[in-house]
Structure 1
Amino acid sequence: MKHEWRKKEKKIYLPENQPELVEIPEFKFLTIEGEGSPQNKIFAEYIGVLYSVSYAIKMNLKKEEKQPSGYCDYTVYPLEGIWDITEEAKKTFKGTINKNDLIFKLMIRQPSFVTDDYFLEMLEQTKKRKPHSFLEQVTFEKITDGKCVQMMHIGSYDDEPQSFKVMEDFAEKENLSRISKDHREIYLTDFRKVAPEKLKTVLRFKVEPK
């Protein structure tokens, strides 16, 4: 049976549009790091190489005569990003972010049965079929977010600070502290096809007891 994250992992990917406390375990991801405004044309190229490798992994696993233990067909996971600003920008930060100061780690989660060796094999295959210099920067890693506050943000990315304020107030009431100002975003809609007011983005940041 095909694993569809929208149906099987609603707690992680489809929260309500109000804050909640969650525990996020270790997952495997394809990742790539960069900096600058997501409005720059080059940003789409970071996304493109992640999807190229992700679909190479998915489609080739289906064709393998001997599939890995635990294998089942699956829907490719959504794009995610961890966002922060440069250290230089932090020194002069006064509440408004210049998007050119952003730094990011974009990623797409992979099923647990995907191995390091298979990733490397598919990365090399992608370099031959769809060559791009950014493929040299794609890595395969395990990430554990642990205890987090998350919520669904509906609307423009520029309005996210309002949702973060609601999330921070919730954390305060739960006697929790936000660990850092970086945060994770999970993109459930395509900004190229959906009006800004209808965008759906999961917002999440790590917390710890006070």
Structure 2
Amino acid sequence: MEKWDYKKTDKDLYLPKKTPAFLEVPEMTFIQAVGRGNPNVCQEYKDALEILYGLSYSIKMSKMDGSQPEGYYEYVVPPLEGLWWMREEDGVDFTRKDGFYWISMIRQPEFVTEAVFEEAKQKLLKKKPELNFDRTRLVRWTEGLCCQVMHTGPYDDEPATLSRLEQFIAENGCVPDYTESRKHHEIYLGDPRRTAPERLRTVLRLPVKKVCK
């Protein structure tokens, strides 16, 4: 049986074109880890990714010991995603990466409940008791109206693509709509450890709202 792959079934969410487009993002389930700091050097960020992948693969591989949850099906673990922002009172300067606040997250199948999440944490703790889950949570989240585009190339080259995205948003009667739950959103389709920087693909997504005229 072919594994369920969200990148293929939900292409509008994961494989946008290089031309910006609007979309309505539905409710999905995520395991999230919250933190602050430069992702390139911050231990907190490295720990968050270890937890996210550890929990995600613990749930996926639960079939191996017969503990798979009700409704389980074969699937591909979705890509890493991230919400990013800076506090205005700290000064918004995206070149100063130590000022980043972030929520790293991985989408989960709909059968992942709080009980499944808690069981996965206990399994992972047995293997790695040093892990701290205080900033990790399971959420069901509806992102709503957004505009997105595919960025190809190094992460540090994103500003040019973002500028095109923001121009498209303004030209089509909308403005960015940042709230407590709606932030600058990135989806990482390439692994920087295995992919040349110029070939990396990243979905850049901004929350928007229409401007009343």
Higher mean C-alpha deviation, range 124-133 or range 49-58: 124-133
**Rounded Cα–Cα distance in structure 1 between residues aligned with 2:168 and 2:68:** 48
Query: SS in structure 2 opposite 1:39?
Result: coil
Match of 1:146 in 2: 144
Alpha-carbon displacement from aligned partner over 1:9-68 (angstroms, at most 9, x marks no partner): 111101111201111001110000111111115122211110000000111046537741
Aligned pairs for 1:54-133 (under 5 A) are 54-61=56-63, 63-64=65-66, 67-69=69-71, 71-90=72-91, 93=92, 96-133=94-131
Deviation at 1:85, TM superposition (A): 1.2
Match of 1:44 in 2: 46
Contact 2:18–2:149 (Cα < 8 Å) also in 1? yes
Aligned length in residues: 206
Query: SS in structure 1 opposite 2:13?
Result: helix
**Rounded Cα–Cα distance in structure 2 between residues aligned with 1:201 and 1:66:** 32
Code of the aligned partner of 2:207: K
Alpha-carbon displacement from aligned partner over 1:98-137 (angstroms, at most 9, x marks no partner): 0010110000000011111111111111111123333332
**Rounded Cα–Cα distance in structure 1 between residues aligned with 2:47 and 2:67:** 32
Code of the aligned partner of 2:176: R
Match of 2:204 in 1: 203
Query: SS in structure 2 opposite 1:134?
Result: coil
- Segments of 5+ residues of structure 1 without an aligned counterpart are none
Root-mean-square deviation (CA), in Å? 1.8
Code of the aligned partner of 2:110: S
- Segments of 5+ residues of structure 2 without an aligned counterpart are none
Aligned counterpart in structure 2 of residue 53 of structure 1, from 52, 55, 60: 55
Query: SS in structure 2 opposite 1:206?
Result: strand
Deviation at 1:157, TM superposition (A): 0.9
**Rounded Cα–Cα distance in structure 2 between residues aligned with 1:46 and 1:54:** 12
Q: What TM-score comes out, normalization by structure 1 length?
A: 0.91
**Rounded Cα–Cα distance in structure 2 between residues aligned with 1:132 and 1:66:** 25
**Rounded Cα–Cα distance in structure 1 between residues aligned with 2:46 and 2:68:** 35
**Rounded Cα–Cα distance in structure 2 between residues aligned with 1:118 and 1:66:** 9
Deviation at 1:6, TM superposition (A): 2.5
**Rounded Cα–Cα distance in structure 1 between residues aligned with 2:169 and 2:114:** 36
- Distance verdict in 2 for CA 1:98–1:108, change over 3 Å: same
Deviation at 1:144, TM superposition (A): 1.1
Contact 1:46–1:134 (Cα < 8 Å) also in 2? no
**Rounded Cα–Cα distance in structure 2 between residues aligned with 1:113 and 1:27:** 11
Q: What TM-score comes out, normalization by structure 2 length?
A: 0.90
Query: SS in structure 1 opposite 2:145?
Result: strand
Q: Is residue 6 from structure 1 mapped to residue 7 from structure 2 by the alignment?
A: yes
Code of the aligned partner of 1:149: C
Higher mean C-alpha deviation, range 51-60 or range 39-48: 39-48
